[in-house]
Amino acid sequence: MELKQATAGTMESGDIMIQIAPSDREGLDIQLQSSVAFQFGDQIKKVIHETLEGLGITQAEVHATDKGALDCTIRARTTAAAVRATGCDVWKD
């Protein structure tokens, strides 16, 4: 699946900004910036990873800037960035 650079989300409190870019390296490289990374960083990365793999994206560079987003927001922003990066609408059959 071909990717282009894409972003979703904001820097507002309770949100997360997800930036996806193509990568030459195998796998998903997820970089997280968050004030709660010590407590919740592994969970945030897990949600991003599972969401992208579920959408068929297995090779990308991801930068996430978290401002206290809940898992449902992380999934939504990751999905939106993936749709923009691939041009594929995940809601169509």
What count of other Cβ atoms lies within 10 Å of the Cβ of residue 15?
19
Question: Which CATH number does the domain housing residue 36 bear?
Answer: 3.30.230.10
If one counts the domains in the chain, the total is: 1
Residue 93 lies in a domain: no
pLDDT of residue 2: 87
> Model confidence over 36-56: pLDDT tens digits?
999 999 999 999 999 999 999
State which amino acid sits at residue 2.
E
Instruction: Report the C-alpha gap between 86 and 29 in whole angstroms.
Output: 17
The torsion angle over the Cα atoms of residues 64, 60, 89 and 16, rounded to 10 degrees, is 0
pLDDT-based confidence at residue 93 (cuts at 50, 70, 90): low
pTM above the 0.75 mark? yes
pLDDT band at 89 (very low <50, low <70, confident <90, very high): confident
Q: Residue 42's domain spans which residues?
A: 6-86
Residue 21 covered by a domain: yes
- Determine, yes or no, domain membership for 92: no
